Chain A
Amino acid sequence: MTSAALYHKPDSQIENQIENQSDGQNDSQSNSTGYNFAYLDEQTKRMIRRCLLKAVAVPGYQVPFGGREMPLPYGWGTGGMQVTATIIGQDDVLKVIDQGADDTTNAVSIRRFFARTAGVATTESTREASVIQTRHRIPETPLSHGQILVYQVPIPDPLRFIEPRETETRKMHALQEYGVMHVKLYEDIARFGHIATTYAYPVKVNGHYVMDPSPIPKFDNPKMHGNPALQLFGAGREKRIYAIPPFTRVESLDFEDHPFEIQGWDQTCEFCGSDHSFLDEVVTDDEGGRIFICSDTDYCNQRFANGARQEAV
């Protein structure tokens, strides 16, 4: 786990980061779609930007926002799309991944949506992208300052599965009444010997709010900590936005005698030989044949191109 030196950026700097993303788009009635640049009208973007600023100012706090109905189904990334549509500018380079991969159908669909409605450049390279919209993964390639990672969030409240009522969970967050969450994790240990949460593993942000990191595997949790990139989370159906500003403390909940740990594999990637990235299991036959490949396709391709395979063999 990295423990990057944490320091707080002045809010204005982050504000600039968000505002800059939207520069130079206001007069653009881009492309052939007949819709505004990046689909959303400017009033809506303004409303969302205000919520984003609030979210950045109160890390991990779920800010309610007037989520719009998008032309894609709820649950398919409408929250992330609204955030992306709000922050993206003409000069941005967009990368969209689902399960870490650029070529999964929904990632393709969302990337096309923005290529069509905003006419922005798209890429599969993590390094080249200025905005990365993701579902279920954080790229293996470390992000850098100035990049923005936009998460698609299905259920923004980590307490939802313990207490389904919004009226209750809001109180619990306000009072930092997170005991139930630890009880749940403890019960896992009592029952299984391990904390049985493997994805959407709850984190504490900046020492205050317990936050749902969206259903990324807990493998990715450490990457959120002290990340130089701005991390934005959009839940469209539930109409919530939250954020982790750059270089923020993000701790995965655990116990002293059961410290947080990430999953690992005995196998390595079939393509690039990586022994340190998140691996997807592929069933190759009906006789128990399995191979493992990197879930992050861009990372895998890069390693492959750099001859990592030969190196590994």
Chain B
Amino acid sequence: MYVAVKGGEKAIDQAHSWLDETRRGDTSIPELSVAQIRQQMGLAVDRVMAEGSLYDPELAALALKQASGDAIEAIFLLRAYRTTLPRFLASVPMETNTMAIRRRISATYKDLPGGQVLGPTYDYTHRLLDFTLLANGERGSPSHSSPHSSSPSTQASDETVEDCPRVLDFLNSEGLIESPLANSGRTQSDGSAESAAPADLTRQPLDYPAGRDLRLQALARGDEGFLLALAYSTQRGYGRNHPFAGEIRQGEVAVEIAPEELGFSVIVGDIQVSECDMINQFIGTETEAPRFTRGYGLAFGNSERKALAMALVDRALRARELGEDVVSPAQDEEFVLAHCDNLDSSGFVSHLKLPHYVDFQSELVLLRRLRKEFEERKSGRQGPKVNTTSKPGNQDEPSTDNEQRREVKQA
């Protein structure tokens, strides 16, 4: 006699212990420490912090370790932890002007106050596998003097970068670009208490049309791959907005809070961020002189690709406010905001792994019935006729089984 499948509970336990074993891998290889991940897999840690929207390199590294290096799984772990944390207050708006610069480049001016600082970037590396690393060799460590004895010291060291005024501020002072708060919605209309507190989509459900603060929050948490693809699509003509990378900067910024009972702000720590100011297609009307527009991107850590993509998508999403036609996916707020979160998308896509016996059975019952009726009709009709003459009589029924099946599926 048939015995129904049981034991989900046991199976889950076994799966978990097998998973632990698999995650650890070969035990003859030393275990990876969280500190090692934090130090040596920094870009992965940064991505997890950015999309996990929690600045905690240690926990992000832990999440990566626990997730066997799967970024989305690690982001999930961090988010699920974040959601349980109490929210004391919002910080004072961060002054990225005062950033302790590690890297700062502008694609619009050859030289500028503060200069171009390349910083630790992969940009100009030749993507050749470095087999010294494979052989466990340390390369270019300070103690090993390389053949180029004059090789520059890589450490930022004492030679601090001078103050770096923002590139877009030069343009702004000339009136060549819109002011940073232009059309942000916060300078206009309801200048009530609401304008003081930025929206937070982790506390309130997203509502459309979303203000720019909400959009930027969604993008900052959004999936890097998704934003990258959307940003790329704008460059290829789907909502083109003629971007110039006005400035990309990376470094440490102080986070300040101003508790009510203190009446002044205090620094609670430094965080590393990547910021991108994009200079975009100018606009002008009969009453307003033409000027450039802006797109903005900001992400935790060294997440330059993300910041760039975010700036492009931010600008694309401003289409409506700037009076442009919304014709491309990247300009479509509902499309972008509803689909940019990788926990939303990975969760819902992966839920297809859950049992759907009941729904599938429902479809089977209907499909069998439809096919039975189809066969009956066919055999009833075909009696005297030859196959070829059945065409006109067939108008009201699906032409082939395949088509029928497909349509049922769609329905």
* A263 and B5 alpha carbons, distance in the complex (Å): 25
Q: Are the C-beta atoms of B8 and A278 separated by less than 8 Å? A: no
Q: Are the C-beta atoms of B358 and A73 separated by less than 8 Å? A: no
With both beta carbons as reference points, the residue of chain B lying nearest to A135 in the complex is identified as: B354
Taking the complex as formed, is B361 at the interface, i.e. its CB lies under 8 A from any CB of chain A? yes
Q: Are the C-beta atoms of A217 and B83 separated by less than 8 Å? A: no
- A68 with B357: in contact, given A263-B362, A270-B2, A291-B2 (CB under 8 Å)? no
Taking the complex as formed, is B324 at the interface, i.e. its CB lies under 8 A from any CB of chain A? no
Taking the complex as formed, is B80 at the interface, i.e. its CB lies under 8 A from any CB of chain A? yes
With both beta carbons as reference points, the residue of chain A lying nearest to B408 in the complex is identified as: A196
B76: which of A41, A73, A265 is its contact (CB, 8 Å)?
A73
Write out, one digit per residue, whether chain A residues 186-200 have a CB within 8 A of any chain B CB (1) or not (0): 001011111011111
With both beta carbons as reference points, the residue of chain A lying nearest to B206 in the complex is identified as: A239
* A175 and B34 alpha carbons, distance in the complex (Å): 56
Q: How far is the CB of A140 from chain B (nearest CB, A)?
A: 12
Q: How far is the CB of A289 from chain B (nearest CB, A)?
A: 10
Q: Nearest 4 A-B pairs (CB), nearest first?
A: A74-B347, A75-B351, A198-B362, A73-B347
Taking the complex as formed, is A150 at the interface, i.e. its CB lies under 8 A from any CB of chain B? no
* B 61-90 contacts with A by CB, 8 A: 76, 79-80, 82-84, 86
Q: Are the C-beta atoms of B363 and A198 separated by less than 8 Å? A: yes
Q: How far is the CB of B410 from chain A (nearest CB, A)?
A: 9
Q: Are the C-beta atoms of B82 and A154 separated by less than 8 Å? A: no
Q: How far is the CB of A286 from chain B (nearest CB, A)?
A: 15
B334: which of A41, A66, A167 is its contact (CB, 8 Å)?
A167
With both beta carbons as reference points, the residue of chain B lying nearest to A100 in the complex is identified as: B358
With both beta carbons as reference points, the residue of chain A lying nearest to B4 in the complex is identified as: A293
Q: Are the C-beta atoms of B346 and A73 separated by less than 8 Å? A: yes
Would you give 18 A-B contacts (Cβ < 8 Å), ordered by A?
A: A75-B347, A76-B347, A76-B354, A98-B354, A98-B355, A99-B356, A103-B6, A105-B8, A136-B356, A136-B359, A166-B208, A194-B369, A196-B408, A263-B365, A264-B365, A279-B361, A291-B2, A293-B4
Stretch of A106-114, A125-133, A205-213 lying at the B interface: A106-114
Write out, one digit per residue, whether chain B residues 363-385 have a CB within 8 A of any chain A CB (1) or not (0): 11110011001000000000000
Taking the complex as formed, is A10 at the interface, i.e. its CB lies under 8 A from any CB of chain B? no
Q: How far is the CB of A221 from chain B (nearest CB, A)?
A: 11
B83: which of A68, A137, A284 is its contact (CB, 8 Å)?
A68
Q: Are the C-beta atoms of B361 and A69 separated by less than 8 Å? A: no
Residues of B that sit less than 8 Å from A by CB: 2, 4-9, 11-12, 76, 79-80, 82-84, 86, 202-209, 334, 338, 343-344, 346-351, 354-359, 361-366, 369-370, 373, 396, 398, 404, 407-408, 411
* A41 and B348 alpha carbons, distance in the complex (Å): 25
- A237 with B362: in contact, given A70-B80, A167-B334 (CB under 8 Å)? no
- A217 with B359: in contact, given A154-B351, A166-B334, A197-B411 (CB under 8 Å)? yes
* A117 and B387 alpha carbons, distance in the complex (Å): 66
Taking the complex as formed, is A242 at the interface, i.e. its CB lies under 8 A from any CB of chain B? no
With both beta carbons as reference points, the residue of chain A lying nearest to B82 in the complex is identified as: A69
* A 212-244 contacts with B by CB, 8 A: 215-219, 237, 239-240
Taking the complex as formed, is A20 at the interface, i.e. its CB lies under 8 A from any CB of chain B? no
Q: Inside 8 A of B334's CB, which chain A residues have their CB? A: 164-167
Q: How far is the CB of A159 from chain B (nearest CB, A)?
A: 14
A contact face: mostly helix, strand, loop, or mixed: loop
Taking the complex as formed, is A305 at the interface, i.e. its CB lies under 8 A from any CB of chain B? no
With both beta carbons as reference points, the residue of chain B lying nearest to A63 in the complex is identified as: B205
With both beta carbons as reference points, the residue of chain A lying nearest to B362 in the complex is identified as: A198
Taking the complex as formed, is A306 at the interface, i.e. its CB lies under 8 A from any CB of chain B? no
* A197 and B363 alpha carbons, distance in the complex (Å): 8
B2: which of A73, A200, A282, A295 is its contact (CB, 8 Å)?
A282
Write out, one digit per residue, whether chain A residues 133-159 have a CB within 8 A of any chain B CB (1) or not (0): 001110000000000000000100000
Q: How far is the CB of A301 from chain B (nearest CB, A)?
A: 10
Write out, one digit per residue, whether chain A residues 41-66 have a CB within 8 A of any chain B CB (1) or not (0): 10000000000000000000000111
Q: Inside 8 A of A216's CB, which chain B residues have their CB? A: 358
Residues of A that sit less than 8 Å from B by CB: 35, 41, 64-71, 73-76, 78, 98-100, 103-109, 112, 135-137, 154, 164-167, 188, 190-194, 196-200, 215-219, 237, 239-240, 263-265, 270-271, 278-282, 284, 291, 293, 295, 297
Q: Are the C-beta atoms of B347 and A219 separated by less than 8 Å? A: no
Q: Inside 8 A of A190's CB, which chain B residues have their CB? A: 396
Q: Are the C-beta atoms of B359 and A74 separated by less than 8 Å? A: no
Q: Are the C-beta atoms of B358 and A278 separated by less than 8 Å? A: yes
A196: which of B209, B358, B411 is its contact (CB, 8 Å)?
B411
* A192 and B409 alpha carbons, distance in the complex (Å): 12
Given contacts A35-B84, A284-B2, 13 further A-B contacts (CB under 8 A): A66-B202, A70-B80, A74-B348, A105-B12, A108-B9, A136-B358, A196-B366, A198-B363, A199-B362, A278-B361, A281-B364, A295-B357, A295-B361
- A73 with B351: in contact, given A136-B359, A217-B358 (CB under 8 Å)? yes
Q: Inside 8 A of B82's CB, which chain A residues have their CB? A: 69
B398: which of A66, A109, A136, A191 is its contact (CB, 8 Å)?
A191
Query: Which of B2, B7, B404 neighbours the largest number of chain A CB atoms within 10 Å of its CB?
Result: B2
Q: Inside 8 A of B207's CB, which chain A residues have their CB? A: 64
Q: Are the C-beta atoms of B80 and A71 separated by less than 8 Å? A: yes
Query: Which of A75, A112, A219, A282 neighbours the largest number of chain B CB atoms within 10 Å of its CB?
Result: A75
B347: which of A100, A199, A237, A279 is its contact (CB, 8 Å)?
A237
Q: Are the C-beta atoms of A199 and B411 separated by less than 8 Å? A: no
Q: Are the C-beta atoms of B343 and A64 separated by less than 8 Å? A: no
Q: How far is the CB of B311 from chain A (nearest CB, A)?
A: 25
* A46 and B406 alpha carbons, distance in the complex (Å): 45
* A105 and B344 alpha carbons, distance in the complex (Å): 21
Q: Inside 8 A of A165's CB, which chain B residues have their CB? A: 334
Query: Which of A74, A99, A100, A297 neighbours the largest number of chain B CB atoms within 10 Å of its CB?
Result: A74
